[in-house]
Amino acid sequence: MAPVRKGRACRARIVTVARPDSSRTSPDDRPLEGPVRTCVGCRTRAAKRELLRVTAGSDAHGRSVVVPDPDGTAPGRGAHLHPTTGCYDLAVRRKAFGRALRLTDGPGSAPVGEWVAAREHDDRSRSTSRSTSGSNDQDWSSSS
């Protein structure tokens, strides 16, 4: 029996191919229609029309505050966010609004939070308002 030779392992030469960054030009995700923006909350790219644009404004005391811009018409720097409380909370926790809008003094973003909450509430009430049975039963009870 021939002794098993240990050692002398042939050293595989690891070849690392440095990839040029130009490969970024090819889209790796499925193409989205129209302009695409990144949500400042969950950092996911989405079609611009699915996101809420927010811009820097000022409140009644002159402090900078992040305000919703659903029409996307406000001038100046804007950031984009999924109109959900989840993404809003993420953005707040990451201080993403201030960073995206170049605001250094930690802007408030209550108007955006209220807008998102109202919209979510609106969506929910619209989807649950289908049940019409059992309402208005007492309308025609005589009141003589």
Residues that bind Zn ion (CB under 5 A): 39, 41-42, 82, 87
Burial of 105 (0-12, 13-18, 19+ CB in 10 A): exposed
Name the minimum Å distance from CB 84 to Zn ion: 7
Pairing between strand 64-68 and 52-58?
Answer: antiparallel
Residue 80 φ then ψ, to 5°: -125, 145
Q: Is 93 or 130 the residue whose CB approaches Zn ion more closely?
A: 93
Q: Is 46 or 74 the residue whose CB approaches Zn ion more closely?
A: 46
Q: Is 65 or 87 the residue whose CB approaches Zn ion more closely?
A: 87
Name the minimum Å distance from CB 41 to Zn ion: 4
Q: Give the residue nearest to Zn ion (CB).
A: 39
Q: Is 34 or 75 the residue whose CB approaches Zn ion more closely?
A: 34
